[in-house]
Amino acid sequence: MAHPPDIETAVIGGGVIGLAIAVACANKGQEAIVFERNEDVGREVSSRSSEVIHAGIYYPKGSLKAQACVAGRKRLYEFAERNAVPAKRIGKLIVATTSAEIAVLQKFEGLAYANGVEDLRWLTAADARALEPDVGCVAALFSPSTGIIDSHALMKALEGCLQAGNGSVVLRSQLRSALCLPDGTFELEIASGTEISKLTARNLFVAGGLGMASLRDKLPFGNGYEPPKTRFAKGHYFTLQGRAPFQHLVYPVPVDGGLGTHLTLDLQGTARFGPDVQWIDRIDYMFDDPDGKRRADFEHSIRRYWPALPDGALEPGYTGIRPKISSKGEPPADFEIHGPERHGVPRMVALYGIESPGLTSCLALADYCVKLLGTQ
Ligand SMILES: Cc1cc2nc3c(=O)[nH]c(=O)nc-3n(C[C@H](O)[C@H](O)[C@H](O)COP(=O)(O)OP(=O)(O)OC[C@H]3O[C@@H](n4cnc5c(N)ncnc54)[C@H](O)[C@@H]3O)c2cc1C
């Protein structure tokens, strides 16, 4: 007689996405165990972001990014309120600093509307200055539904929901490889320090963020399936010494690979600028500015929309790394979430390229993944 699997659902990766998936499974009454390779949850992509709840403005109509961002944003505000996660709808200005950039804002207005974001407002330069006296622009789009959230508190709240249901997080546990057994369950090889253990799971979600690069050939995909290749794009943040000059987020028009050197505020009111885009070959979080060129580039970009930025006011902050599945110079890729129909293996879902707006989208993506698994 076949043995039942050791666990019902295994989720690889204790970032915001893996945690949200596990909570969605637990909410359906399933047992869900998250395996996380680090000593705590959220030590990688999820804790090194801008912590912005995006409205859903930039993404192509019908894309998974657009749908998950708009649906996820609403869900995230509700979740934050219900679970006492600090979050605030503070609104954002996307600024045109030349008349040529107004056309870019017009394009975003159209995209946003197509995505169901219907609350954008045009601001003249004078309107923008009435909201933010220090901003420099020729026009701006104002997004009132954009906000900020404490991403660490969010992950702790998700972990709490999981533990209150039928789930848990197992730390310092790295998936080395997975096999598909003849009865259709998965055999997972998990390394915890020097110890290697094997256990079986009926369902498998793989939400490894940057770790998807090294899991590429370790998962039991069907013949002929080629998983997307994960590439790394580092972003640096500088923080502002002293009082933040703005009450709202301020974004310039996007650049290749990112949203431009924007100003965000954390919930304590500290201003930070970034992230820039540096394509790298291996995971390395070092804040790298040996000759001060990065700081000078930041100052130049910021002064386009904040001409009064004082000299020497920027302090090196932190870095984050985007898991990209597009290459330098290519248009941004959509989230790629592959289920049985795509890779040929029942009851397994693998997630690739979960860059921004992944934090905003986490709850919507979790439901999408559970549906894609196609069990119950
Ligand atoms: C610079 C930057 C700014 C961003 N800003 C925003 C923003 O303002 N708003 C927004 O909505 N989104 C933003 N994002 C995107 C958002 O942060 C991500 O989409 C989201 O955090 C991804 O979560 P994740 O769970 O997929 O990845 P992660 O948080 O990296 O989680 C994956 C986890 O898997 C674990 N893992 C990997 N391999 C294994 C393995 N083999 N075994 C066990 N565990 C493993 C890792 O240790 C990690 O903890 C930003 C991202 C970056 C990099």
pLDDT (0 to 100) of residue 209: 98
Beta pairing, strands 231-240 & 278-280: antiparallel
pLDDT (0 to 100) of residue 332: 92
pLDDT (0 to 100) of residue 222: 85
Instruction: Write out residues in the chain with pLDDT < 70, as ranges.
Output: 1-2, 257, 375-376
> Could you tell me the pTM of the whole model?
0.97
Decide: residue 193, CB within 10 A, 0-12 exposed, 13-18 middle, 19+ buried.
exposed
Torsion of CA 293, 299, 305, 311, to 10 degrees: -170
- For domain 92-144+231-324, which architecture applies? 2-Layer Sandwich (3.30)
Mutate to test the pocket of ligand 1, among 19, 46, 251, 324 (most ligand atoms within 8 A of CB): 46
Beta pairing, strands 32-35 & 7-12: parallel
For residues 18 and 205, is the Cβ–Cβ distance under 8 A? yes
96-143: pLDDT as tens digits: 999 999 999 999 999 999 999 999 999 999 999 999 999 999 999 999
Domain boundaries, the chain: 7-50+152-229+332-373, 92-144+231-324
pLDDT (0 to 100) of residue 130: 96
226's tokens: 């080629």
Q: Is 154 left (phi over 0), alpha (psi -120 to 50) or beta?
A: alpha
CATH of domain 7-50+152-229+332-373: 3.50.50.60
145-180: pLDDT as tens digits: 999 999 999 999 999 999 999 899 999 999 999 999
Pocket residues for ligand 1 (CB within 6 Å)?
A: 12-18, 35-38, 42-46, 48-52, 54, 174-175, 207-211, 215, 235, 275, 320-322, 354-360
Could you tell me which of 110, 19, 106, 102 has the C-alpha nearest to residue 61? 110
pLDDT (0 to 100) of residue 3: 78
pLDDT (0 to 100) of residue 257: 65
For 351, the 3-state DSSP assignment is strand
- Number of Cβ within 10 Å of residue 40's Cβ equals 15
